A and B are shown apart, each in its own frame.
Chain A
Amino acid sequence: MLNQSRFIYLATILQLLLILLMLPAWQWWSLGCFLLLNGLAFLQAFDKAPVLSLRLVNILAALCVVALVLAGRQLGAMNFLMHILVLSALLRLLALSKQKEARQLVWVHYFILGCSFLFHQSIAMASLILLAFVLNLLLQYLLFAVQMPSNRQLRADSRFLLLLLPLWLGLFLLFPRLAPLWQLPSAQQAITGLANEIEPGTIEQLVQSNATAFRVRFDGPLPPQSERYWRAKVFEHFDGRRWSVQQGFHHPGRPRSRDYPNQATELRYQIIAEPSFQRSVFTLGVPTQWSPELEALPAALLGYNRTINQRISYQISSVTAAVPLTDVQEKHWNLLTGDHNPRSQQLASVLLANHPEPHDFAEALLAYFRQHAFFYTLNPPPLGQNSVDDFLFQSRAGFCSHYASASALLFRQAGIPARVVGGYLGGDWYQEQHYLLVRQRDAHAWVEYLVDDVWHSLDPTAAIAPDRVLNGLDSALSDADMAFLTGGLFGQLPLLSQLRLQLLHLDYYWSVWVLGFNQQRQDALWRSFTAFWQQWRQLLWLSLLITLSLVLLAVAWCWHRRKKRCSVTEQLQKSIPDLANKLPQQSISKALQSLAEQAPSQQMLLHRVQILYERSIFASDQSAQQELLRLLKQHRRQLTQLGKK
């Protein structure tokens, strides 16, 4: 090992980083325990604490394992594994004595780094993890090297280190990708985005978050803002105050695209969704085709085949048509009103008496909201148990969910099946980057009512705040609400928000090209490569041929040179043709001597040739050989003339 104290010092820093990276996996007590152990390691690294004996470390390990096993049920399989991994690394460092143990430690660090990607996928966190990886690589280097590389060596090696990049990217782009081989446990985390319940106040809270919910790339033209109703959930159960998702109620129907021959326009889009720790995904209209990892849910919704605990990307085709009835029971269920909100029941009866036709009833409902003093606000007054009555006849101020909730109930009370739909409306379109960004603040709720076994959607918010539908939330809110939403100093600095937007775009490309790179994209890459090949086939063949022949030529030349080099005697015989006339038993040296006697004018030269030849042959003197070759080349003419007179 190069330097043990440096190794321990760096390993301690790395472990602190690992603990922080895996933060979502920890409980408060395990975090405390880990930080304590890490602190102990720091003290050891600075020689402030004695090195623990193996026995003490084993006792510590046993205690921790007992605690973990007791808490195991609460942790879940995945987090349990993380605890074990990090704990073993921490304890191993505390009692590090052999090089072999240090190797194991480095190995486990790599594995933990891999696991930390399960929790973090943003570009910033990925960079941090990469930094930790480099630190661990350095640790491994320290284990096996004797000294740090000199500057000269670094310079020489850096060229080859650069090779790492094409190798890495090539592997990423070309290495075969497989479908998941088996199901692994995933980390348990709190859900984000729309929950399975809507009560007054839920969406207002959600809207305060500026976080990204998902991003969309459209294959065709972008649908207008007012048509971008992203359906995520339908809420069909109402208890007087709270709307919730009906669990296990009806079978998923799978509408097919041939059901909508004429009126529907087809949309194809790719969604990159942030982890929500739920299964629901976002669709426009009625989905007709979708990626294999999605599955059909009731009410023409789609769900991911497991909890979305990391950024995912999926492809959907859908038609902008009304949602068909997928189950007969659905109709019955969406008529249940319960025996609450009596005053709204009266209102529904009055409206129905004047407008018996369902579509007319819907119009009348919107007109009712328009004609009375209803307000659209982010901070509505709290409502009681009969929330719809309170809203319609007392507060008359609410957010989208209030209007949706009241409308759906009124429909039901009028005998028209209706439900609340939760999702997102609109989103910010970035023309340059060509994607739609939908944030949590775009969360929205609207209504679907059933006529002739088809669900028609109705957005009561449009009656109160048409700007919300047409131009987005910001234009619909009052100044006071906006100030509340953007809150604080930082939201208003233009430079900072510009920077934040740029980071958001960077994050988008990161998701598309790194996180969302899947088999389809790999196939597309291959296809474009083969297309390129088809197009430039002749040229590529030609260049390949030329390169090949050049390489062959180079090899032949090297071979020739090598052959030329290996025999000095042959070289000499070639240069002095008269040597061929020597007697077989005569040595080359002797022949050179007799040549020198015959040609006194070249005596000096021949004598020198003889000496150099003997030195290169019998003393294996490389410099003499080179000198000889040089001499032969220099006096080529005189030497070829020898013996001709």
Chain B
Amino acid sequence: MVRDKISRMLQRWLARKFTASNDFQLNHGNLLVFPSRYGFWFALLILLLYLMGTNYQNNLILLLAYLLLSVFLLCIWFAWRNLAALQIRLQPPQAVFAGQQLRLQLDITAEHPFQAVQCTSGPAKASASSDQPVCLQWTAAKRGYYPVTSLQLQSDYPLGIIRCWTYLPVQLHYWVYPTPLSPVTPQCWQAGTPEIGPRSSTEHPEQLKAYQQGDPIKRLHWKRLARQPDVPVIRISEQQAKQDPRWLLVPPLQGEALEQCLSEICHQLLELEAKQMEYGLQSPAGDVTLGQGAHHLQQCLQKLALC
């Protein structure tokens, strides 16, 4: 509970301290410096040597203690300088399919050489030095649209006694699409069309229903408007919908079945795209009209990820 509170306070403080962006400049304002655990052991060593030097009245032991203390103090500066003046630019991560490796590319530039900078974001860890670019990688587990959890940069260079670190509130999101799986028969998705063409017979009373708020205005049956005061709407009949294979319809499933189905739809989308056919998607997350191309595919996949 206390931990949660502290974490909340930290988040609030961070929000005050840093403005979220994808481009950071490390300086006095956002770097934190504190002795590491080993640093406290080091301090204990200095204390022990000081006591020993005092008790034996041995100036050389005292000198050693002071030397270690000077090293300790100087390390604060060196640890800070290793991170200071770094410029970090983040590339938005490429969307991946669930189970694939997600890559977050960090472009770190600095005027002076730096090394042993640990970059951490969620489960991913990587070490950065001035001559090697950093790429954080982790496995995208589940489909969805995720924010990149705040990025931590940390270094205990040069002697491990002082830790210098910072939290970068990243404003990046990434897409994880369902894993494409080749469909098992029978197909779980339904083909159909939510659109009405002029060919459909609108006169049949069974295809009419009362207007509800939110119904598309183009489905209004204008001719009947004068005759019947309750505004009729054209209803989609399922038999009709099944006729068009270009439309993929996410069925109202839940849990594992839904995941399986989304994976199969994903596979189907990719296949349709590869065959350069037109396709559309109807899903609880939203509809995508018929179309084709990389951008269109991306839209469909994003809808799938959000189902």
Residue numbers of A with Cβ under 8 A of B are 103, 107, 110-111, 113-115, 117-118, 121, 126, 129, 133, 137, 140-141, 143-147, 149-150, 152-153, 156-157, 160-161, 163-164, 167-168, 171-172, 175, 177-184, 186, 293, 310, 312, 514-518
Contact = CB atoms under 8 A, between A and B. Distances in A.
Given A153-B112, A293-B57, 4 more contacts: A103-B38, A137-B159, A150-B113, A167-B70
Given A181-B51, A181-B55, A110 B45 contact: yes
Interface string B99-127: 00000000000001101100000000001
A111 B49 contact: yes
Nearest to A178: B54
Interface in B152-173: 156-160
A107 B159 CA distance: 12
B74 A167 contact: yes
Contact of B160 (A143, A157, A172, A182): A143
Interface string B56-68: 1111111111111
A181 B52 CA distance: 9
B58 A182 contact: no
Nearest to B51: A181
Given A118-B61, A133-B64, A141-B158, A156 B112 contact: yes
Given A141-B158, A153-B112, A310-B56, A172 B62 contact: yes
Interface of B: 38, 41-42, 45, 48-49, 51-71, 73-74, 77-78, 112-113, 115-116, 127, 129, 156-160
Given A145-B115, A146-B115, A146-B116, A110 B58 contact: no
A137 B71 contact: yes
B48 A160 contact: no
A114 B66 contact: no
A160 B78 contact: yes
Given A171-B66, A171-B69, A515-B59, A144 B158 contact: yes
B57 A153 contact: no
Contact of B52 (A126, A179, A184, A517): A184
Contacts of A115: 52
Given A107-B45, A146-B127, A172 B63 contact: yes
B67 A514 contact: no
A117 B64 contact: yes
A366 to B, nearest CB: 44
Contacts of B63: 168, 172, 514
A147 B129 contact: yes
A157 B158 CA distance: 12
Nearest to B132: A146
Contacts of A179: 54
A164 B127 CA distance: 29
A180 B52 contact: no
Contacts of A118: 56, 58, 61
Contacts of A184: 52, 55-56
A167 B156 CA distance: 22
Nearest to B73: A167
A141 B161 CA distance: 10
B74 A163 contact: yes
A177 B54 CA distance: 7
Contacts, number: 119
30 contacts: A110-B45, A110-B49, A111-B45, A114-B48, A114-B61, A114-B64, A114-B65, A117-B61, A117-B64, A137-B71, A141-B158, A144-B116, A144-B156, A144-B160, A146-B116, A153-B113, A160-B74, A160-B78, A161-B74, A164-B70, A167-B73, A171-B69, A171-B70, A172-B62, A172-B66, A181-B54, A310-B58, A515-B60, A516-B59, A518-B57
A319 B159 CA distance: 56
A161 B159 CA distance: 14
A314 B156 CA distance: 45
A126 B67 CA distance: 13
A36 B115 CA distance: 38
Contact of B59 (A146, A180, A182, A517): A517
A146 B128 CA distance: 9
A333 B53 CA distance: 43
Contacts of A152: 113
Contacts of A293: 57
A293 B157 CA distance: 45
Contacts of A103: 38, 41, 160
A111 B115 contact: no
B85 to A, nearest CB: 12
Contacts of A146: 115-116, 127, 129, 157
Given A143-B160, A157-B78, A167-B73, A114 B52 contact: yes
Contacts of A160: 74, 77-78
Q: Which of B60, B62, B69 has the most chain A CB atoms closer than 10 A to its own CB?
A: B60
A147 B116 CA distance: 8
A164 B64 contact: no
Given A164-B74, A171-B69, A147 B115 contact: yes
Contacts of A145: 115-116, 157-158
Nearest to B66: A171
Contacts of B113: 149-150, 152-153
Contacts of A156: 112
Contacts of B78: 157, 160
Given A133-B64, A514-B63, A111 B48 contact: yes
B41 A113 contact: no
> Can you list the 8 inter-chain pairs with the closest CB atoms, starting with the nearest?
A144-B160, A171-B66, A117-B60, A167-B70, A146-B116, A168-B70, A114-B49, A146-B115
A140 B113 CA distance: 20
Contacts of B116: 144-146
A82 to B, nearest CB: 12
A516 B60 CA distance: 10
B199 to A, nearest CB: 52
B41 A107 contact: yes
Contacts of B42: 107
A514 B60 contact: yes
A79 to B, nearest CB: 15
A180 B54 contact: yes
A137 B72 CA distance: 11
A133 B65 CA distance: 11
Contact of B55 (A126, A180, A516): A180
B135 to A, nearest CB: 16
A123 B112 CA distance: 39
A372 B177 CA distance: 119
A507 to B, nearest CB: 14
A382 B38 CA distance: 65
B57 A180 contact: yes
Contacts of B65: 114
A121 B115 CA distance: 39
Nearest to A164: B70
Contacts of B73: 167
A518 B54 CA distance: 11
A449 to B, nearest CB: 39
A110 B68 contact: yes
Contacts of B127: 146
A191 B67 CA distance: 32
A40 B42 CA distance: 29
B47 to A, nearest CB: 12
B24 to A, nearest CB: 15
B261 to A, nearest CB: 47
A164 B160 contact: no
Contacts of B54: 177-181
A306 to B, nearest CB: 10
A284 to B, nearest CB: 24
A288 to B, nearest CB: 24
Contacts of A111: 45, 48-49
B66 A175 contact: yes
A156 B113 CA distance: 10
A166 to B, nearest CB: 9
A514 B64 CA distance: 12
Nearest to B67: A168
B160 A113 contact: no
